[in-house]
Structure 1
């Protein structure tokens, strides 16, 4: 299980490809029904988290049910790019070679090389971000929560149903990244679902704190 695999997974990470072809891992959901029952969905209209799990349940606004939870520091901007901009962006992204990554994803990374154990940064091989993404970074200034934001790393991540692509629950190292991470979802609708963190408080404060510019490329829902 810990040997390199052609699908890009390694260690305990798995995708549908290695689970089916090599009999590794478990394709069952890592989210229990109890956790789903205690989850919240963030509504970008009223900017509150409401009890629920189902995708697009926030579209019932303003007819929410249950008691909401305030979740400051989160901002969802609908239609941040136009359909024409999305098409041009996807075309440009696909002209760049993809690398296989863990859990069924493909990725493209831009940024300096970071050694988190030694807390050192190597910038000599970093020449900048793709020109076709400049308009996105420039547009960040229109979002109040991103005032003064500076990109340290930019990555494109592709998620497909066929590979069971996903990102596992994790804690980011915030030594260099800071406290903000903007994500632009393309090709498919996205829902921000929240579950209560049960680990140590010190770790909880570091969850998803990296200020990376991430493009999440999913499958078009017909």
Structure 2
């Protein structure tokens, strides 16, 4: 079974056997002793190959493709320039409920198997994706305030002020910054570049305010593309995925 999230999975420690949160996803059942009356998180619905990320091994297993209802979704994704030639080989559907305390811990998705673009479709309710980075590298943050008001951001450097605003800049270490990305219901998120490989993403418990479903799609890394070390296996997985005959594995 492909592990949910496809990322660096520290998980939430030892879990009760009937907890279904998997990997970096957590629920209150993971964190409380049994008998507290807290229902477990629903298990993820995976459509993808059998993968052992630790040993870097995979095989098709019982994978028979992405689900038929995703055919149109994938076609419509291709209309966006950023998703040109995006060919997913895995889809993972996650079900979040505030009463279960659903959340996702900060993590980076795997880069051995999964490629440049990580695509998520946010359904049913809005949420917030929180981006963070474990790095002391310096970011230059810009704060703009209306003219005549005092900026709440301290700064030693003044930018060129437009007529109706005042801009200030300050240097802040990356590990002191968390970027909040608001995701409306029915929005599509694409992480790539630094957001994919350097900044961890998470969803905090307080940002699951009502029932939410997320469908995440992943493409293959260069190693599994034509000309790559495992290009033939990648082509086999891609043909299976795009048959759209899948059942959860």
TM-score by length of 2: 0.44
Structure number with higher strand proportion: 2
Structure number with higher helix proportion: 1
TM-score by length of 1: 0.49
